[in-house]
Amino acid sequence: AQKVTQAQTEISVVEKEDVTLDCVYETRDTTYYLFWYKQPPSGELVFLIRRNSFDEQNEISGRYSWNFQKSTSSFNFTITASQVVDSAVYFCALSGSGSARQLTFGSGTQLTVLP
Amino acid sequence: KAGVTQTPRYLIKTRGQQVTLSCSPISGHRSVSWYQQTPGQGLQFLFEYFSETQRNKGNFPGRFSGRQFSNSRSEMNVSTLELGDSALYLCASSLTGQATRELFFGEGSRLTVL
């Protein structure tokens, strides 16, 4: 069985602060895929990033960066210099090769960026 | 290009009724998945269709069903509605539905069961 844990239910920061969202996963698959999605108030989930289990290279994209560590089964997401528009619910998700075409989501982290 | 379109966006039903939700995927996408989102259970996978065939199904009772048409549009149906079926139902499409591919979600259909 697969499991994704996002221990932070809610985070509140002031604009321009950096914020890290934590994600810990469990899977028995040797090949798997990790995702981050953002859900603004409008409801649709917006894809942010995908990582393969065999690619531990961390990535930076603008103000976003991701830290994937297989040794600790973590896939954390950092927003640098946060902005009010970053306020949303962020979901970490897992798809294993044994459960293709099905995402297991974490419970989400509500991020509020205050002006 | 147009995103994933779900209709209706909001609906209210009473217990025992049935409901049909519709999803039009991104043009060219052949895989459509459905997810249920509730405050208590979070996001849960319902089922996935590819080329009119259900390839995967989540752990939901038989009251939840779906289908996909030849143009990749999909519908899901919930019969004999229960209060616990109140949720945001999200449809997602992808090019092939492979595990490696990201999903593109619609804004959802918010169902309230009274």
Question: Over the stretch B73-114, which tens digit does the pLDDT of each residue have?
Answer: 999 999 999 999 999 999 999 887 676 678 899 999 999 999
What is the model's pLDDT at position A102?
Answer: 85
Do B92 and A101 lie within an 8 Å CB cutoff? no
Q: Give residue B1's pLDDT band: very low, low, confident or very high (50, 70, 90).
A: low
Mean confidence (pLDDT) of chain A: 91
What is the model's pLDDT at position B99?
Answer: 67
Do B107 and A42 lie within an 8 Å CB cutoff? yes
Q: What are the tokens at B5?
A: 């379109």
What is the model's pLDDT at position A84?
Answer: 96
Of the candidates B4, B103, B104, which has its C-beta nearest A103's C-beta?
B103
Q: What is the pLDDT of residues A14-67, one digit of tens each?
A: 999 999 999 999 999 888 999 999 999 888 899 998 888 888 777 788 899 999
Cβ count within 10 A of residue A105: 20
Do A106 and B98 lie within an 8 Å CB cutoff? no
Do A106 and B42 lie within an 8 Å CB cutoff? yes
What is the model's pLDDT at position A81?
Answer: 96
What is the model's pLDDT at position A100?
Answer: 56
What is the model's pLDDT at position A98?
Answer: 56
**E strands of chain B, at which residues?**
5-7, 10-13, 19-24, 31-38, 42-50, 53-57, 64-68, 74-78, 87-94, 104-105, 109-113
Which residues in chain B are contacts of A97 at CB distance < 8 A?
99
What is the model's pLDDT at position A13?
Answer: 97
Distance from CA of A15 to the nearest CA of B (A): 27
